[in-house]
Amino acid sequence: MKNLEENFKLAKKQDRRAQKALYDLFSAKMLAIANSYTNNIHDAEDIILNSFLKCFNKIADCKEWKSFPFWLRKIVVNDSITFVRKNRNILYADIEIADHISDEDFDEELIDINIEEIFSKMPEGYRLIFNLYIFEEKKHQEIAEILTISEGTSKSQLNKAKKWIADYLKSKENEKKHKTIKI
């Protein structure tokens, strides 16, 4: 942590080595975050480069070194959402909410699975809302404002994402059963 504090203070003085040290410290995690929104590693790389550039240009806005990781994450998430909104046409289907899937059932099914594999196959609209709700802990009202959709659409898409994941996991389980039977 002391390294973070020192590098943060030096980076605020536009020290390039300290900025590089912060980049090295956080770039892998920020890349994973950006990729979870874009589902394209090349786009995610572009996003984090731009995010770090923005971060170092506005680092004076971050008051405490302890809050730097959260502040940087917010920049990466916002830049990822902006990128996706600008570069892709995302359709949010406002059909009935899949209320039959409970959070308890859903959480148990996430054990021992490859999250990256699921995100790579999940429809983009579902993935955006799922990320914002689950990982960024945003409320539906906040998600609606960020994505300029209705609160009901946010709720619906989250429930559809949960259903999609449950169906995906069931299909993977069925694939395993069929492979076991053929052997």
Would the pLDDT of 179 be above 60? yes
pTM: 0.67
Would the pLDDT of 144 be above 80? yes
- 126-155 burial: b if 16+ Cβ within 10 Å, else e: bbbbbbbbeeeebebeebbebbebeeebbb
CATH for 2-87, options being 2.40.50.140, 3.40.50.2300, 1.10.150.130, 1.10.1740.10 = 1.10.1740.10
Domain-wise residue ranges, the chain: 2-87, 103-182
> 57-60, long-range: CB within 8 Å, 24+ apart, which pairs?
59/8, 59/11, 59/12, 60/12
| pLDDT value of position 89 | 61
Residue 87, judged by CB atoms within 10 A of its CB (0-12, 13-18, 19+), counts as exposed
| Topology at the third CATH level for domain 103-182 | Arc Repressor Mutant, subunit A (1.10.10)
pLDDT band at 92 (very low <50, low <70, confident <90, very high): low
Q: How far apart are CA 128 and CA 71, in angstroms?
A: 20
